[in-house]
């Protein structure tokens, strides 16, 4: 079974631009969660989608948004990029049927904002 895939793997943007990241979950999984990883703040939850609906949201500004498609693929968008948005963005795939279902992470997208 194929794992979680994320595209692109690396991105370089400048301040003020916007960016869209993509995540394809494990086949059959309906939940996709997004996390931001930085050296200073560690791993922080952004939001989670299940069956095209956002179920949970972390404490990030409205510049961070996402969506999920009917095939469970998810995209995350960051508008008006700031230097502090430089991070590794990870998505995690889960069946989503229960809180204690395992979450499997993709390799991440490394975003650098100049």
Partner 1 sequence: GENVEQHPSTLSVQEGDSAVIKCTYSDSASNYFPWYKQELGKGPQLIIDIRSNVGEKKDQRIAVTLNKTAKHFSLHITETQPEDSAVYFCAAIREDSSYKLIFGSGTRLLVRP
Which residues contact partner 1 (rule: CB under 8 A)?
Answer: 4, 6, 31, 33, 35, 42-45, 48, 50, 55-56, 58, 90, 92, 94, 96, 99-100, 102-108
- What is the distance between the alpha carbons of residues 99 and 39, in angstroms, rounded to a whole number? 27
Nearest to partner 1 of 66, 108 (CB atom): 108
Cα angle: 34, vertex 10, 61; to 5 degrees: 40
13 versus 110: smaller Cβ distance to partner 1: 110
Nearer to partner 1, 75 or 88 (CB): 88
The backbone torsions φ and ψ at residue 26, rounded to the nearest 5 degrees and listed phi first, read: -60, 140
């Amino acid at each position: 079974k194929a794992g979680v895939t994320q595209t692109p793997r690396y991105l370089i943007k400048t301040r003020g631009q916007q960016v869209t990241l993509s995540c394809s979950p494990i086949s059959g999984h309906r939940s996709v969660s997004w996390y931001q990883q930085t050296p200073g703040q560690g791993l922080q939850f952004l939001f989670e989608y299940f069956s095209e609906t956002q179920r949970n949201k972390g404490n990030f500004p409205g510049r961070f948004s996402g969506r999920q498609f009917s095939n469970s693929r998810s995209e995350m968008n960051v508008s008006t990029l700031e230097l502090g948005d430089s991070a590794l963005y990870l998505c995690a795939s889960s069946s989503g049927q229960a809180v204690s279902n395992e979450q499997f992470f993709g390799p991440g997208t490394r975003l650098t904002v100049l």
